[in-house]
């Protein structure tokens, strides 16, 4: 290799010398047998949102209350120059956030024309589940969230409900936050 080789040339040469079926292959197989999502809690239950549906997690930013909206709309916050509407998910489902306010977090949804912050009790970060633990039937005891669930991952010590933000966004109550 010459002294003037580009980074691309170096990487191309490395890829030619790499052995097929090397150490990376086992990692790829293991990764394909797991499902990943962003874990959070609400009402004391564990939920998981698909990774592709949550763009960011953050502490609750300062916000301004909005007049004429549902009580579960907590306000609007300026997040890096963009106005982020904040929605209290516990209040949306008819309850109250259940842990210390210092633990509350925001899950940011950003897709097509939706930019929204979902306020939840606690965020656990990235969680991984073996595919064989998936059950199509959610087993949450919370009737109010049933329409937003898409199955669950049943582990020996806990059940994680798959929370579909896509189903939440389609809910007419959520998309029409103005007081009637």
DSSP assignment string, 98-147? -S-GGG-EEEEEEETTEEEEEEESEEEEEEEEEGGGEESS---S-GGGGG
User: Residue 58: beta bridge partners?
Assistant: 106
Let me know if residue 92 belongs to a domain: yes
Using one digit for the tens of pLDDT, what is the confidence trace for 1-23?
555 667 777 677 766 666 555 55
In this structure, is residue 7 part of a structural domain? no
Backbone angles phi, psi at 65, to 5 degrees: -65, 145
Low-confidence ranges of the chain (pLDDT < 70): 1-5, 10, 14-32, 180
The pLDDT assigned to 98 comes to 80
Does residue 27 lie in a domain region? no
What is the tally of helices (H) and strands (E) in the chain?
5, 11
Bridge partners, 122 (sequence order):
41
In a domain, 55, yes or no: yes
What is the per-residue pLDDT for 136? 95
In the prediction, which pLDDT does 76 show?
97
Is 88 inside a domain boundary?
Answer: yes
Ramachandran quadrant class, 125 (left: phi over 0; alpha: psi -120 to 50; beta: rest): left
Q: Measured at the alpha carbon of residue 52, what is the angle toward residues 167 and 157, in degrees to the nearest 5? A: 80
Residue 15 maps to a domain: no
pLDDT of residue 163: 97
Our count of domains for the chain comes to: 1
Residue 10 within a domain: no
Q: For residue 118, tell me if it sits in a domain.
A: yes
CATH number at residue 149: 2.40.50.180
Residue 9 pLDDT: 73
Which structural domain, as residue segments, surrounds residue 77?
33-175
Q: Are 42 and 120 in contact (CB under 8 A)?
A: yes
User: Residue ranges of the alpha helices (H) in the chain?
Assistant: 7-17, 23-32, 89-92, 165-170, 172-175
- What pLDDT is attached to residue 18? 63
User: What is the rounded distance in angstroms from the CA atom of residue 140 to the CA atom of residue 131?
Assistant: 19
């Amino acid at each position: 290799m010459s002294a003037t080789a580009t980074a691309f040339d170096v990487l191309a040469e490395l890829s030619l010398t790499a052995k097929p079926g090397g150490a990376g292959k086992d990692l790829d197989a293991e990764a394909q047998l797991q499902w990943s999502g962003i874990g959070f809690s609400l009402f004391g239950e564990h939920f998981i949102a698909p990774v592709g549906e949550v763009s960011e997690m953050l502490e609750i930013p300062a916000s301004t209350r909005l007049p004429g909206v549902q009580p579960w709309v907590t306000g609007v916050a300026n997040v890096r120059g963009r106005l982020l509407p904040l929605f209290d998910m516990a209040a949306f489902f008819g309850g109250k956030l259940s842990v210390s306010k210092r633990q509350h977090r925001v899950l940011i949804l950003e897709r097509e024309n939706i930019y929204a912050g979902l306020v939840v009790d606690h965020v656990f970060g990235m969680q991984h589940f073996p595919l064989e633990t998936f059950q199509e039937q959610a087993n949450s005891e919370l009737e109010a969230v049933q329409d937003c669930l898409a199955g669950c991952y049943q582990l020996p010590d806990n059940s994680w409900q798959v929370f579909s933000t896509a189903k939440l966004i389609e809910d007419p109550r959520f998309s029409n936050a103005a007081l009637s």
